[in-house]
Structure 1
Amino acid sequence: MSRLILAMQTSIDGYVDSSLPDAAWQLWNWGPDWPWSEDLRASFNRLLAEASGILLSRPMADDGYLAHWARAAEQHPDDPDWAFARAVGALPKFAVSRAGRPAQDWPRTTVLNGELADTVAQAGKLAGGGLVCFGGAGLASALLRAGLADELRLFTNPGFAGTGRTIFGPWLATRTYRAATSTAHACGIAETRWVR
């Protein structure tokens, strides 16, 4: 079975978003001018360069994830810092759905319906190699709960969300990951790789 890397941004207090309107936890907000440093850009570009496919939730696809990165790739066609945006467009994508709805007009995207373990295995087989998953929160949590993530890569922002969604729960108390690498990037984000 191909490896699955679950990559998520978190706050210092472990949330992946905030329900507080004035929370400024997220340094890396995916906007046009976020202050990510050269070392973080290089690491993120390597993550996408090594992937054979992208796994994402159906709601992420519905909410414009693919269109957003297609626009970013068009705006930065030759910029090496934005190689990951071009990779998002070029790699095969697999949207996991329990609803059984047909795919929208998403280029290079296959909607997979069924049990989570089966759809992840099918995505890995179709991709022909390792997958990277960026969520959303519900899919990330389900992957951890089912023991399907071979690696958890956390990009911890230098701020507190206070409250919001988390991908962690008490059902993880019996799971064990070991630290593989930890990097404090110049912009203040800490990247930690945890592997099974």
Structure 2
Amino acid sequence: MRKLILQVQTSVDGYMAGKDGGASWMLWNWAPEWSWDADLQQYHTDLSASVDCILLSRKMAKEGFIHHWAGMAKQTGNPQARFAGYISQAQKVVFTKTLQKSEWENTVLAKGDLKEEVNKLKQAKGKHIIAYGGAAFAGALLRSGLVDELHLVVNPVAIGQGLSVFSSLTGPLPFSLIAATGYNSGMVLLKYGKPS
């Protein structure tokens, strides 16, 4: 069965965005210059190569995620081009209740029950699946028990208050630590899996 990986950038105090949704405090967030160090860039590229399906919230898709990385994939001189190519080649599944048709290439809409739609994708043949989205979408995936691996990319900054991927949980959600890796840029990658 395919594995669902949720990758989330957070602050050291556990927020993935400010109260207003802003993320200017992140070391790197869709910027033209890739300010992560080479080892962290390689992790991100390898992770993108390991998947062939990307789950997105409607909001992230509408904010330009698909178009941005399709454009970046064409900038062959940019170190982001390689992983952006993997993103462009992967099937994108946008979860929405309001959109009537896909506005993007290689993208389908998922309009049914979140758990049913994701489990159907997990049963299909292919590489692993990765999810990107805001606090509500990522939180719903966690709350539904759909996430097989959680990759927290922790920025070396505290923001005091904001949006948390865990705020909608109704009880404890245990994980097993797979790996913890520190990087020269000050970032820390925490990989968690479901407890065995």
TM over 0.5: yes
Q: Cα deviations across residues 30-89 of structure 1 (Å, max 9, x unaligned)?
A: 2012411000010000101011211111111111111111121122x2655531111111
Q: Trace 1:1-196 onto structure 2 (pairs within 5 A).
A: 1-19=1-19, 25-75=25-75, 77=76, 81-99=80-98, 101-126=99-124, 128-169=126-167, 171=169, 173-196=171-194
Asked if 2 retains the 8 angstrom alpha-carbon contact of 1:42 and 1:81, the reply is no
Single out whichever of 22-31 and 149-158 deviates more from structure 2. 22-31
CA distance in 2, matches of 1:84, 1:70: 10
Residues paired across the two proteins, number: 194
**Paired residue type of 1:47:** L
Bigger helix share: 1
Shift of the 85–23 alpha-carbon distance from structure 1 to 2, 3 Å rule, reads closer
Following superposition, the deviation at residue 130 of structure 1 comes to 1.4
Q: What are structure 1's unaligned runs of at least 5 residues?
A: none
Once superposed, which parts of structure 1, at least 4 consecutive aligned residues long, lie more than 4 Å away? 20-24, 78-81
Asked if 1 retains the 8 angstrom alpha-carbon contact of 2:93 and 2:108, the reply is yes
**Paired residue type of 1:93:** K
Single out whichever of 163-172 and 4-13 deviates more from structure 2. 163-172
Describe the SS at the equivalent of 1:171. Answer: coil
CA distance in 1, matches of 2:83, 2:170: 30
**Paired residue type of 2:143:** R
CA distance in 2, matches of 1:16, 1:22: 9
**Paired residue type of 2:87:** V
**Percent identity of equivalent pairs:** 35
Asked if 2 retains the 8 angstrom alpha-carbon contact of 1:24 and 1:160, the reply is no
Describe the SS at the equivalent of 1:106. Answer: coil
CA distance in 2, matches of 1:45, 1:21: 26
Shift of the 51–15 alpha-carbon distance from structure 1 to 2, 3 Å rule, reads same
Single out whichever of 120-129 and 103-112 deviates more from structure 2. 120-129
Shift of the 127–110 alpha-carbon distance from structure 1 to 2, 3 Å rule, reads farther
CA distance in 1, matches of 2:168, 2:4: 22
RMSD: 2.1
The TM-score, its normalising length taken from structure 1, stands at 0.90
Describe the SS at the equivalent of 2:151. Answer: strand
